């Protein structure tokens, strides 16, 4: 993965239900704080601090199908999955 790779790398995937329609959900690894690095010209960026990366230099984001951007960052895959599992989506991980 190249530095500030904005595509990220899918490290886990599964399905969630939108009504009765199954949708894909991914945990995507990034080597940067996606939003901090991706939005360098936002007016309020100077007031932000990037999320610290984990020991492997990564952050993990939950990305449900239908979302244009990934959701919030986590330090571990397990934390990202736990958060997704706590949502009313009924996730089934592959």
Strand (E) positions, the chain?
A: 9-18, 21-30, 59-64, 73-74, 92-93
- The DSSP annotation for 28-49 comes to EEESS-HHHHH-TT-TTGGG--
Q: Is the pTM of this model over 0.95?
A: no
pLDDT by 10s per residue, the chain, length 94: 545 566 789 999 999 888 888 999 999 999 988 877 776 665 666 677 888 999 999 999 999 887 766 778 999 999 999 999 998 878 999 9
């Amino acid at each position: 993965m190249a530095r500030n790779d904005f595509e990220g790398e899918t490290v886990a995937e599964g399905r969630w239900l939108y009504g009765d329609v199954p949708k894909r959900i991914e945990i995507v690894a990034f080597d940067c704080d996606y939003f901090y690095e991706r939005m360098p010209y936002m007016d309020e960026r100077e007031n932000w601090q990037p999320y610290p990366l984990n020991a492997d230099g990564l952050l993990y984001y939950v990305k449900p199908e239908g979302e244009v951007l990934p959701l919030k960052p986590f330090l571990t895959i397990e934390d990202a999955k736990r958060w997704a599992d706590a949502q009313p989506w009924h996730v089934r991980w592959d």
